[in-house]
Amino acid sequence: RSVAQTGTLGEITVVALPCAWVYCEVGHHLLGKEAPKPSHPYFEWLQLYGSPEFAEVTRWMREVVDRCAKTAGRAEKARMEEAFLISSQYEWMFWDMAWREEKWPI
């Protein structure tokens, strides 16, 4: 089943949260080390994901998820948890693949 097609607001938001959260953390970490020059190959990526504005978007997403979880029934909470875990696993796999310099398998 597609969460984007049939999921609740909580499920849809929680599926996107791991990506936003990780990118926000990585962007802030890297910008905290040294301000990149515009010639840096990831300059625009760093400026976006390390920005206070993106941190605010990520915070808002976490708040939406928390609010939805507070009012969700047991079944919906279980679906939200499963969606978050699967999405987090995909994020981990993506970063691990980059770390290992693997090629996309398909």
Residues involved in catalysis: 19, 91
Pair 24, 34: CB distance under 8 Å: no
- Residue whose tokens read 């040294």: 34
For residue 37, what is the DSSP state?
A: P
